[in-house]
Amino acid sequence: MRMDVRHTSAIFALILCAPLLVHAQTAGEIQQQIDEHNAQIAQLDKEIAQYQIQLNATSAKKQTLQNQLAQLTLSIKKTTASIERTKNQISATELQIQQLSAGIAKTQGSIESQESGLAQSLRALAEEESRPMAVKMASRGTIADIWNDLAAVASLQSAIGEHIVNLRSAKQELTDTKTATEEKRAQLVKQKNTLLTQQGSLNATKQAHSELLAQTKSQESTYQAIIAQKRAQEAQFEQALNDLQAKLRYTVNPSQITPAGQGILSWPLDSVRITQYFGNTPFASTGAYGGKGHNGIDLAASIGTPVKAALSGIVLGTGNTDAVRGCYSFGKWVFIKHNNGLGTIYAHLSQISVSQGESVQTGELLGYSGETGYATGPHLHFGVYVVSAVQIIILGNATQSRTPCASAVMPVAPLSGYLNPLNYLPAL
């Protein structure tokens, strides 16, 4: 076989100019679709922000049935827009994965073509080197010509080898990016499922309020009478609870609980705005809570907002005081026992997503916020307890006070068992 630099150069040129793989969609078409999804996402972001502004304005208005229904309607629209936004994010991410897959396939094809060409070149070089010098001179002329050809071939082989190394590096980068993008897509799908569940919670709550509207026959005076009755029954419950708390005797042992410190617990909501603090708040001074102060903090949260565990632990109990007619207290609640001597409660939920005895991790979904129980509007009640001081009981079994909550199951503790959540949560 005659070694020819022009032949080897042609091989190298063929390798570098190998035809691209043909795809059903061109790169430009895929990018156009990605841009369209991103434009829809930007538009939905504007709608969601506008819905939030309207929600804030509605929640600040007087508590009326029509205002509550208007707030729920806005919440549903906001959640629906959020779901559509997430769907567009997922579609755009899938198209990006398609782009990356095409790039990986193209790069792999180029690598295989260049490796094949390099192998052919190496075989030709080995064959040339095995030929006697006399034969080489007879075919090429002078020794200088032979050495020039060999040097050119070696240079081409070095260039091919370097290009293959670069392509392999590029392929690895594409593969890493694709893996990260697929993980992002999985997170988006999870987020979409969360939003769909939120929408179900909102629809269920809106239906309940629509039924209340039918019961009152759209008469605001009837609705306000129901609210007044609810407040009176809640006051009865608070008196019974205060009597029980006074009877309970418990001395807190500081060695059994983690000392106060910011960041021991995580916020149970992604977006935090405190609407009522712990202790003797202005609302408590109006006569609420039987004059004993607020035993937790309230966080603004529209109905259907995901509520997450503030720390890993075990679900000590769950319940729904609304299941007992006329009992207005925690509504739907979850209580978590933590390994550091603390316990946390999450109340006024619209839905509960965990069960008694279940292990949960920090940030894991517990349920969705609402306005069940005694609530003047949608929010999350978050409380921190000395867990060893807590009893989850049927209220009527522990107190003789008359209360519509006698049959309700809930966590209770002496006053010394309540802790200020802000002593354990991250600073705002």
SS3 173: helix
What string of DSSP letters covers 110-162? HHHHHHHHHHHHHHHHHHHHHS-HHHHHHHH-SHHHHHHHHHHHHHHHHHHHH
User: pLDDT tens-digit profile of 242-271?
Assistant: 666 666 666 666 677 778 888 999 999 999
First to last CA, the chain: 79
User: pLDDT tens-digit profile of 41-99?
Assistant: 999 999 999 998 898 888 777 778 888 888 888 888 988 898 899 889 888 888 888 88
Kindly state the tokens that stand for 293. Answer: 């102060």
Tell me the CATH architecture of domain 226-423.
Distorted Sandwich (2.70)
pLDDT at residue 392, rounded to an integer: 92
Angle subtended at Cα 176 by Cα 174 and Cα 179, rounded to the nearest 5 degrees: 110
Who contacts 195 (Cβ-Cβ below 8 Å, separation ≥6)? Answer: 79, 82, 83, 86
Write out the H or E segment, with its range, that includes residue 230: helix 220-247
pLDDT at residue 365, rounded to an integer: 92
Q: Across the chain, which distance is largest between two alpha carbons, in Å? A: 119
Q: What is the pTM of this model?
A: 0.70
Who contacts 102 (Cβ-Cβ below 8 Å, separation ≥6)? Answer: 21, 23, 27
pLDDT at residue 36, rounded to an integer: 93
| Residue ranges covered by each domain of the chain | 5-212, 226-423
Query: What one-character DSSP code corresponds to residue 258?
Result: P
pLDDT at residue 1, rounded to an integer: 42
- Cβ atoms of 316 and 327 within 8 Å: the answer is no
105-127: b (≥16 Cβ within 10 Å) or e: ebbbebbebbeebbeebeebbee
Distance CA 156, CA 262 (A): 64
Phi, psi of 174 (to 5 degrees): -65, -40
pLDDT at residue 362, rounded to an integer: 97
Kindly state the tokens that stand for 54. Answer: 């309207």
pLDDT at residue 344, rounded to an integer: 98
Integer Rg of the chain from CA: 35
Q: Tens of pLDDT along the chain (428 residues)?
A: 444 545 555 545 544 454 444 445 787 888 999 999 999 999 999 999 999 889 888 877 777 888 888 888 888 898 889 889 988 988 888 888 888 887 777 777 777 777 777 677 667 667 766 766 555 555 555 666 666 666 776 776 777 777 778 777 877 887 887 888 888 888 888 878 878 887 887 787 788 778 777 878 878 888 788 777 777 766 666 666 666 666 666 666 667 777 888 899 999 999 999 988 887 666 655 555 555 667 889 999 888 888 999 999 999 999 999 888 878 789 999 999 999 999 999 999 999 999 999 999 999 999 999 888 888 778 999 999 999 889 898 887 766 667 778 888 989 888 778 899 999 999 98
- Cβ atoms of 399 and 237 within 8 Å: the answer is no
